[in-house]
Chains A and B, each alone.
Chain A
Amino acid sequence: MQQQAFAVERPLARPMWQRTAIKTIGELAKHFVLVPLAIIFMIPFFWMLSTSLKPDAQIFKWPPVWIPSPIQWSNYVDAVTTIPFFHYVWNTLIICGLSMLGVTFASPPVAYSFSRLRWVGRDFLFIVTIATMMIPYQVTMIPVFLIWANLGFINTFVPLIAPHWLGTPFYIFLLRQFFLSIPFELSDAAKIDGATELGIYRRIILPLAKPALATVLVFEFLNRWRGFIGPLIYLNDQKKYTISLGLQMYQQENYTEWSQLMAASIMLTMPVIILYFFAQRTFIQGITMTGIKG
């Protein structure tokens, strides 16, 4: 009885208008913190955009010019001509495309084997695979480099692409978790109908795994597009540079060409942001999936 009285009494303790006022003030207080914070987060983007459109005279000015006038679009033209921008983009896209193809070819069958096939040694190998994810890449970086050097593949895209044709532990893990969630009755039914294992994999499991595969491919594209250390180690001929490496090298020699550097940085960032807006759910899901279950 007493509890019930308590529960009824408390909400009635304050008149309606007061409660609405408190709620409104509370809501405003949150935005009071979130809006300035959001502005602070956006200022670097604004600064990047603003600088990329400034005539040279307005870049080195104190106090700084916030909005460029006149707006100088030609900075973008300069950025793609003084830096062989599209050539670098082309190189990067070759690496992205062939790596993504490799991931599609190699990682799902391994995940399939680790989740839906019964064989001796499977669980042991899966644990080894997970354990190798804990080892920092710096440990394997040097011997792997020496392997490629001995095979004569330095300054080619091969060391950047080939590993993805042999399976990536993180993707194998993600896809395995997904494959485990597909009902096993589907495979059993197909088997009774005389399907082979390859048939089950290609006709049933792979089509069902499209969302998981999409997540993995988005990850792979982003990692190749943004990747820096791999190209830095393996590529030393300017003709072979990826966009990240090319931009860094250009910056080293022309560190005062701020308008061009900002224009090029925007062009390097834009594809990622566009992809984000198209595949927002995949992004968020991918991050929370790796964040919570990883």
Chain B
Amino acid sequence: MGRLTEPLRRQLATRTGRQDQINGILFALPWLLGLSILILYPIGASIYYSFTEYSVLRPPRWVGLANYIKMFTADDVFWLALYNTVYFAVFSVPLGIIVGVGIALMLNMKIKGLPVYRTIYFLPVLVPEVALSILWLWVLNSQFGILNAILWEVFGIVGPGWLADEHWSKPSVILMALWGVGQAVVIYLAGLQDVPKELYDAAAIDGANAVKRIRHVTIPMITPVIFFNLIMGLIGAFQYFTIPYVLTGGDGKPAQSLMFYSMYLYRRAFVMLEMGYASALAWLLFIIVLVCTLLVFRSSNRWVYYAGR
């Protein structure tokens, strides 16, 4: 106790110290309220609810681990939603990194018209998710959509049903996610501009050609940015909600192939009013995201290069 109160005692010993302490707390006051009411209390409440059966209309009833046991043993949709989400993450995140780095590398080669290209690749990022979903429902319309029209007129291919076909619906949303790669491109470009020019000159003198310079200089130098995008991509994939919700009206059709984890959680909470079960789903989501992040972090010392370390 002494160790904890000692700095406070010393702070309060002088007049300016007391004044500083009061000012500090006063300035931070809105957030101290916000933090406790809207974050810390809800975290505690949510842990408690996850061990209860709670339908809003009646007070929560303690059920121990029943929600967690039910999830793993008696809920097929939970497994399906988890599978869909992992499928989406496994394809969309690496593809996003490859395409994003690829475009950024090309844009970084002192190309003419960089601002124009950058704007074009960035524009999709600006489209609100609801508008984006409605737009792609129409682009991917199997009968009258423009993608199948191009496939037929240019390549003579009869396109699939895309969002209407349970085997093509997940590739469709991965394609949509790639359309928004511009956000990552902007971040990669900023990372690329920080790579010291001397490194390229040194590599060139050592006889490295353009491909080798990218492989052995550029890519290692931007691994911290790739690392950041990987983690944000994983977190984003597990929270993927608005787009599949709008595409399917919230039910994950066809054949629940677009039922993603966060959407399922929302349904349990706000459609079926099972707040206890939904809270348990939320905590499992947190644990999954945490474990994924920790695994990526642990692997990072093998592939992420921090200059100056």
Q: Which residue of B lies closest to A294 (CB)?
A: B228
Chain B interface residue count, CB cutoff 8 Å, equals 94
- A interface footprint on B110-141 (CB within 8 Å = 1, 0 otherwise): 01100001001111101111110011111100
Stretch at the interface among A12-20, A57-65, A93-101, A209-217: A57-65
B296 is an interface residue with CB less than 8 A from chain A: no
B179 is an interface residue with CB less than 8 A from chain A: yes
B9–chain A nearest beta-carbon distance, Å: 9
B18–chain A nearest beta-carbon distance, Å: 10
The residue in A44, A134, A261, A288 that gathers the most chain B C-beta atoms within 10 A of its C-beta is A44
- A interface footprint on B87-113 (CB within 8 Å = 1, 0 otherwise): 000000000000000010011010110
A119–B20 touching, CB < 8 Å = yes
Q: Which of A34, A47, A60, A248 is close to B146, meaning CB atoms less than 8 Å apart?
A: A47
Set of chain A residues within 8 Å of B281, measured between Cβ atoms:
138
- A interface footprint on B18-41 (CB within 8 Å = 1, 0 otherwise): 011101111110111111011111
B23–A197 touching, CB < 8 Å = yes
Q: Which of B25, B130, B183 is close to A248, meaning CB atoms less than 8 Å apart?
A: B130
B269–A38 touching, CB < 8 Å = no
A7 is an interface residue with CB less than 8 A from chain B: yes
Q: Which residue of B lies closest to A244 (CB)?
A: B130
B203 is an interface residue with CB less than 8 A from chain A: no
Chain A stretch 1-49: residues in CB contact (< 8 A) with chain B: 6-7, 27, 30-31, 33-34, 37-38, 41-45, 47-48
- CA of A113 to CA of B293, assembled, Å: 30
Q: Given A136-B286, A140-B46, A228 and B129 touching (CB < 8 A)?
A: yes
Q: Given A7-B205, A109-B28, A149-B56, A30 and B131 touching (CB < 8 A)?
A: no
Set of chain A residues within 8 Å of B43, measured between Cβ atoms:
132, 135, 139-140
A184 is an interface residue with CB less than 8 A from chain B: no
A233–B270 touching, CB < 8 Å = yes
Chain A interface residue count, CB cutoff 8 Å, equals 93
Chain A stretch 85-128: residues in CB contact (< 8 A) with chain B: 105-107, 109-110, 112-114, 117-122, 125, 128
Q: Which of A64, A107, A262, A292 is close to B190, meaning CB atoms less than 8 Å apart?
A: A292
- B interface footprint on A183-206 (CB within 8 Å = 1, 0 otherwise): 000000000000001000100000
- CA of A214 to CA of B131, assembled, Å: 26
B96–chain A nearest beta-carbon distance, Å: 14
B242–A229 touching, CB < 8 Å = yes
B282–A132 touching, CB < 8 Å = no
A64–B144 touching, CB < 8 Å = yes
- A interface footprint on B259-295 (CB within 8 Å = 1, 0 otherwise): 0001001100110000100110111011001100100
B249 is an interface residue with CB less than 8 A from chain A: yes
Stretch at the interface among B65-73, B233-241, B298-306: B233-241
Q: Which residue of B lies closest to A149 (CB)?
A: B56
B138–A139 touching, CB < 8 Å = no
- CA of A184 to CA of B80, assembled, Å: 55
A207 is an interface residue with CB less than 8 A from chain B: no
B79 is an interface residue with CB less than 8 A from chain A: no
A166–B144 touching, CB < 8 Å = no
A138–B24 touching, CB < 8 Å = no
A265–B282 touching, CB < 8 Å = no
Set of chain B residues within 8 Å of A247, measured between Cβ atoms:
130-131, 134
A226–B128 touching, CB < 8 Å = yes
B289–chain A nearest beta-carbon distance, Å: 6
Q: Given A119-B24, A138-B262, A146-B275, A273 and B123 touching (CB < 8 A)?
A: yes
Set of chain B residues within 8 Å of A266, measured between Cβ atoms:
131
- CA of A61 to CA of B141, assembled, Å: 12
B38–A63 touching, CB < 8 Å = no
- A interface footprint on B194-225 (CB within 8 Å = 1, 0 otherwise): 00000000000100000000000000000001
B258 is an interface residue with CB less than 8 A from chain A: no
Q: Given A120-B11, A273-B123, A44 and B143 touching (CB < 8 A)?
A: no
Q: Which of B112, B282, B285 is close to A142, meaning CB atoms less than 8 Å apart?
A: B282
Q: Given A140-B38, A269-B131, A288 and B190 touching (CB < 8 A)?
A: yes
- CA of A239 to CA of B28, assembled, Å: 36
A117–B30 touching, CB < 8 Å = no
Q: Which residue of A lies closest to B153 (CB)?
A: A63
B150–chain A nearest beta-carbon distance, Å: 8
The residue in B39, B103, B120 that gathers the most chain A C-beta atoms within 10 A of its C-beta is B39
B133–chain A nearest beta-carbon distance, Å: 8
B77 is an interface residue with CB less than 8 A from chain A: no
A60–B144 touching, CB < 8 Å = yes
Q: Which of B139, B144, B191 is close to A44, meaning CB atoms less than 8 Å apart?
A: B139
B49 is an interface residue with CB less than 8 A from chain A: yes
- CA of A269 to CA of B130, assembled, Å: 10
Given A132-B43, A142-B49, A251-B134, 14 further pairs, Cβ under 8 A: A30-B109, A34-B106, A63-B153, A110-B31, A117-B27, A120-B8, A125-B28, A132-B39, A132-B40, A142-B275, A166-B34, A244-B128, A247-B134, A287-B187
Q: B residues touching A (Cβ–Cβ < 8 Å)?
A: 7-8, 11, 19-21, 23-28, 30-35, 37-43, 45-46, 49, 56, 103, 106-107, 109, 111-112, 117, 120-124, 126-131, 134-139, 143-144, 146, 149-150, 152-153, 179, 183, 186-187, 190-191, 205, 225, 228-229, 235, 238-239, 241-242, 245-246, 249, 262, 265-266, 269-270, 275, 278-279, 281-283, 285-286, 289-290, 293
* CB pairs A–B below 8 angstroms (9 shown): A60-B143, A105-B30, A110-B30, A132-B40, A135-B43, A139-B46, A140-B38, A144-B38, A288-B187
